[in-house]
Structure 1
Amino acid sequence: MVFIVVLRRIALKSSIIVPLVGIMLGAVVGSITTFLAGNFDLLQSMSAWRSGGFSSVVRGFYEPLWAVLAVAVLAYLLADRFIIAGLGRDLATNVGLKYEQVVFLGVMLVAIATGVTTVVVGFIPFLGLIVPNLVSMMLGDDMHKNLPWVAVIGAGLLLACDLVGRTIVAPMEIPASVVLGVVGAVVFITLVLRQRRHVSA
């Protein structure tokens, strides 16, 4: 909800602004979390939790992820509404869509999915940022067609990063989140530079 309020108060001249605002807001929340963890002697626990990967996912602990499947199905069913809302407030309102409600519902679905995933798997940087953008660049903006590909490519990328982290310094292990952070940062910068060249052209 804070994210929506912040977006309403700034001028969105580019679609890249939205994830940048999310990253900055996440940094603020992260700093507050670190401060609280330091005060309550929980820095080590928080550090372990932020190292996302598959190593801590065991039977009896992964079951909350079924909620993410329910969210994905709901998002797929409402994909047409999200596509129209993505075209802008004026167009969405003109075709009879309740823009504010759709945006709020979309943000809530994303918040539930990422929250549950983070609790179970840990902190996974850039995954929800680069994969949907890459799929949209290849296949267009049809969410019905894109969502299955986002799920498959996202899972495959995370699995590949996990395998790299397990083999590159074997028998030790680098968290998948660290490997994905490096890959995601490079891809994200490339996307920003590409859009910048596209706008200037």
Structure 2
Amino acid sequence: MTLRALVLNCTLKKSPAESNTDQLASVVVTELEKLGVAVEQLRLVDLDIPPGVDTDVGPGDPWPAVHEKLLGSEILVFATPTWVGHPSSVAQRALERMDAMISETDDEQRPVAYNRVAGVLVTGNEDGAHHVISELAGGLGDIGYTIPGQAWTYWNRGPGPGPSYADTDEGKDWSHSTGRAMAGNLVAVAAALRDQPIPPPRS
């Protein structure tokens, strides 16, 4: 069975504007595809997602379609830029909407995110990537995703102002090699969970 991956790009830039986050995500996507994974990408800012903590907040809500894509994927790549040291507001909103998944269960009474893996990708020309990774990985773990070891990559400029990801080659070799390792780790753990699923929580 082919593994499926969903990339949620939480850039603040609407299509077709160039997204630094999308460019780094393409490295992970390419590696996932080389490993035989079917990948779909979404730029969430294009969808005008309303706030809330439910899967469906009413007429015109585009989130239920995103939710279906989450449930149709064994691998999630959660990608965000860094703004003032934090994930983007789009990323925070996505996590808030995903909060509903904690109480949703499958046919065996497991949280619906069980037996799915997630990794985090961060860009930004400022410090804060490790903080952002920790925030997002912690939230995704709460929701029920399995976070493999070293399932992340990031690029940032370091202290002070400077060019964005698209404007320089500085640091990209490390970000790209880490992104390829991230893809491999996600696939390995997703395949293991497919073959040996996590059982329902003990009551």
- The structure whose Rg is larger is 1
**By percentage of residues, which structure has more strand?**
2
Q: TM-score, normalised by structure 2?
A: 0.28
